[in-house]
Amino acid sequence: MTSKTNRRRFIGQSAALTAGVGYFAGTSVAQEESTSALNSLSAACIGVGGKGGSDTSHIANQGVNIAALCDVDRDTLAKKGREFADAEQFDDFREMLDKMGDKVDIVTCSTPDHTHAAACVKAMNMGKHIYCQKPMTWSIREARLMRETAEKTGVITQMGNQGSSEDGLREAVEVIQSGAIGDVSEIHIFSNRPVWPQGGGRPAGEDPVPDSLNWDAWIGPAPMRPFVKGAYHSFNWRGWVDFGTGALGDMACHTTNMPVKALHLWDPVAVTAVKNPGIVEGEQYPGSSSLMFEFPEREGADGKTLPPCKFYWYDGGNLPPENIISQLPASFQKRVQAQRDGGRKQSGAIIVGSK
């Protein structure tokens, strides 16, 4: 891939080169192997290090045959290959899908955010069921493209947001929707992210690309840039605009999911950067931010009108104001104070109701 290949062309090429999915998160299935519907299915797994490594192992534990593994880092690929010795190995998902397309039913995608749509749209257009790690895509347009492609092809899909499949979140939604805490006027979500570098510019210089790394495939649909050791691959990509979606994209799908579902917070009428130094040189998300989303009256789950409310997001060490923190249990206030004293950053979700 050359530096002239733009994002739209890469995704277009990926698309044109052309169940039991609910258990991909690794939930235990109490079935004998001989009776599991998953035993007859095969999967190709894209991105098999870190979370991708556990995603691959989880579906294998449910009886899915792992037919192919793909990772741009051949060291990572070789390590996972020792677990699945019969799986064919690739360092470019396009090559893998072209070769293995008629041999697999399921494709998992656990890559950096910027390649989710490119990989999944191609796979869906080949009729493959998809398990894609969160956040679903790098951009809103790509999320719409993914949804449209899933509807067009009729495949089964799931995003890797495991907490949404657990009882705790669902019970909390029911408690709020029952009216137990009254009308909600404010939501405050604070995150311990980022835990990677943010707030700087692009590093100077260039390092040799390791022999084990397919840098072109890692860059994928993003504009080409020099390889710099430790700057992007294999973990710090989340802070870069071209590859990740920052603290909000990484964690909001977990920590805001409960109040969003409970209170139908889909369409804000205004978003304000309360405290945000902005994207640095068009390259990297800010080191910290505080955002406010304003929601109007809207219809709730039971058809009743929900009152307007404000939704606050804090990252990079920012916290809700003291009048909100002071309402927390004493044990959690102690943890917040420890953060203020220089300790580990905390995460939390506070829903303020009239009761």
* Residue 335 clears pLDDT 90, i.e. is over it: yes
Domain ranges of the chain: 7-160, 165-196+246-353
Write down the pLDDT at residue 37. Answer: 61
Q: How is residue 15 written in tokens?
A: 């698309």
Query: Which residues does residue 289 pair with via DSSP β-bridges, in sequence order?
Result: 315
The average confidence (pLDDT) of the chain is: 90
Query: Mean of the pLDDT values across residues 342-348?
Result: 94
Q: Which residues are registered as beta bridge partners of 109?
A: 46, 132
Q: How many residues does the structure list for the chain?
A: 355
pLDDT per residue as tens digits for the range 194-253: 999 999 989 999 999 999 999 999 999 999 999 999 999 999 999 999 999 999 999 998
Q: What values do phi and psi take at 42, rounded to 5?
A: -125, 150
Which of 46, 136, 63 has its CA nearest to residue 97?
Answer: 46
Which of helix, strand or coil describes residue 309?
Answer: strand
307 preceded by cis ω (within 30°)? no
The yes/no answer on whether domain 165-196+246-353 falls in CATH 3.30.360 is: yes
Is-contact 8 15, C-beta < 8 A? no
Half-sphere exposure of 308 (CA within 13 A, CB side): 7
Contact predicate 330/301, CB 8 Å = no
7-160 falls under which CATH superfamily?
NAD(P)-binding Rossmann-like Domain (3.40.50.720)
Q: What is the mean pLDDT of the segment spanning 134-152?
A: 97
User: Comparing 11 with 291, which gets the higher pLDDT?
Assistant: 291
Whether the per-residue pLDDT at 183 is higher than 60: the answer is yes
- 209-223 pLDDT, tens digit each: 999 999 999 999 999
| 3-state SS assignment for residue 73 | strand
Closest listed residue to residue 232, CA positions, set 271, 265, 200, 262: 200
Is pLDDT larger for residue 232 or for residue 22? 232
* CA 114 vs CA 71, 137, 171, 295, 328: distances in Å: 15, 7, 33, 29, 37
Condensed to tens digits (0 to 9), the pLDDT of residues 61-113 reads 999 999 999 999 999 999 999 999 999 999 999 999 999 999 999 999 999 99
Asked if the model's pLDDT at residue 24 lies above 60, the reply is no
What confidence score (pLDDT) does residue 19 get? Answer: 33
Sign of CA dihedral 32, 38, 39, 45: negative
Residue 178 DSSP SS3 = coil
